């Protein structure tokens, strides 16, 4: 029976050598006799990456849980609908714009509510809102292209893009432009299937673009999609028992029986806010978080109009 062959590449400049197994000991001896590679730094002497500067999320409980949002890193928050993702985003935008930073929101599904933002004290002058998938207003490109072709001129090539593709290109441009304090991508209403289809290379590119910059890249969605590119990964969930507090302001005490409930007029009830539980799933700066990995906070309803 022929002895198995062992493949070994002695050095970068040497061809691959196949040797029988019994000669492996001899080969190892020869390899050990070769001069050692130079220019390779031992792992123990590798330079430590400095910890990123943290900025406030605008919510005490979240700051206590994560230490804030890391600059130059990708932070991802996910959770189902009504789990408080957008509230956290607004709080982060408010905090950043009040620090006089210029922020950008890439709104993939055009769901941003200006009234909520104003109520959350976001400085709207400092927020760039990009509405992906929003209908083009004013100018009909398809007709213009047709006419331009008629005139014998070069028509600009119209590329039909989905909102997610638009969002990725826009984010790329914003990050390359630089100077933004916070760039947020809102993927909350994007179906999980589609969100997961975003290539990992895009997230790597984004992460690489914000590295060593003071920009906070903030992503919210239904499922985690940036995977290992996210430095900070948080899961949010609304706690089921006290999602609403309908009887708080009007009656003072909660009715207990169904009859009593029926007597309460619906307009006497009020949505008071969301109670949100946050769970820290990953924080790459710390191998093992010493603090609690859970936090709870309540969002407050503010009626406008």
Angle (CA) 113-68-74 rounded to 5° is 75
The least distance separating other proteins from the CB of residue 76, rounded to whole angstroms, comes to: 16
Question: Where do the DSSP E strands lie in 195-283?
Answer: 216-221, 232-238, 275-283
The H or E element spanning position 173 is helix 163-177
Distance in angstroms (rounded) separating the CA atoms of residues 235 and 221: 10
Q: How many residues bind other proteins (CB under 8 A)?
A: 105
Q: Which of residues 63-122 bind other proteins (CB under 8 A)?
A: 63, 68, 80-91, 95, 98-102, 110-121
Interface stretch with other proteins, choices 6-14, 35-43, 173-181, 277-285 (CB under 8 A): 173-181
Which one among 73, 174, 210, 216 touches other proteins, defined by CB under 8 A? 174
Binding residues among 180-199 for other proteins as defined by CB under 8 A: 180-181, 188-189
If one asks whether residue 254 binds other proteins (CB under 8 A), the answer comes out as: no
How deeply is 122 buried, as exposed, middle or buried, from its count of CB atoms within 10 A (0-12, 13-18, 19+)?
buried
Q: Which of 47, 125, 253, 259 binds other proteins (CB under 8 A)?
A: 125
Q: How many CA atoms lie within 13 A of 9 on its CB side?
A: 6
Q: Is 156 in the site for other proteins (CB under 8 A)?
A: yes
Phi, then psi, of 29 in degrees rounded to 5: -60, -40
Check residue 24 for interaction with other proteins (CB under 8 A): no
Single residue of 266, 287, 288, 290 touching other proteins by CB under 8 A: 266
Structure-token pair, residue 152: 């014998």
Question: From CA 243, how far away is CA 273, in angstroms rounded?
Answer: 7
Instruction: Write the CB contacts of 202 (distance below 8 Å, at least 6 apart in sequence).
Output: 168
Q: Which part of the chain contacts other proteins (CB under 8 A), choosing from 19-27, 38-46, 281-289, 294-302?
A: 294-302
Q: Does 252 bind other proteins (CB under 8 A)?
A: no
| Binding test (CB under 8 A) with other proteins, winner from 23, 24, 30, 129 | 129
Residue 206 lies near other proteins (rule: CB under 8 A): no
């Amino acid at each position: 029976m022929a002895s198995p062959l062992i493949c070994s590449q002695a050095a970068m400049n040497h061809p691959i050598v196949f040797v029988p197994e019994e000669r492996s000991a001899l080969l190892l001896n020869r390899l050990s006799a070769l001069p050692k590679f130079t220019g390779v730094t031992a792992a123990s002497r590798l330079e430590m990456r400095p910890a990123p500067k943290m900025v406030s999320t605008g919510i005490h409980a979240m700051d206590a849980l994560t230490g804030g949002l890391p600059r130059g890193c990708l932070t991802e928050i996910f959770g189902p609908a009504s789990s408080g993702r957008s509230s956290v985003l607004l709080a982060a935008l408010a905090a950043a714009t009040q620090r006089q930073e210029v922020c950008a929101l890439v709104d993939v599904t055009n769901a941003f509510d200006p009234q909520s933002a104003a109520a959350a004290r976001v400085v709207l002058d400092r927020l760039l809102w990009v509405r992906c998938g929003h209908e083009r207003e004013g100018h009909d490109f398809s007709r213009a292209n047709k006419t331009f072709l008629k005139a014998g001129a070069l028509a600009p090539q119209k590329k039909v893009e989905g909102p997610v593709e638009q969002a990725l290109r826009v984010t790329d441009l914003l990050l390359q432009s630089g100077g933004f304090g916070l760039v947020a991508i809102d993927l909350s209403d994007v179906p999980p299937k589609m969100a997961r289809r975003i290539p990992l290379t895009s997230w790597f590119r984004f992460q690489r673009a914000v590295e060593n910059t003071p920009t906070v890249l903030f992503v919210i969605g239904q499922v985690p999609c940036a995977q290992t590119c996210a430095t900070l990964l948080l899961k949010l969930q609304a706690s089921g028992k006290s999602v609403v507090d309908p009887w708080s302001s009007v009656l003072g005490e909660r009715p207990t029986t169904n009859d009593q409930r029926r007597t309460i007029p619906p307009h006497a009830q009020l949505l008071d806010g969301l109670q949100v539980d946050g769970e820290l799933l990953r924080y790459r700066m710390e191998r093992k978080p010493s603090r609690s990995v859970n936090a709870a906070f309540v969002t407050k309803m503010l009626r406008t109009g």
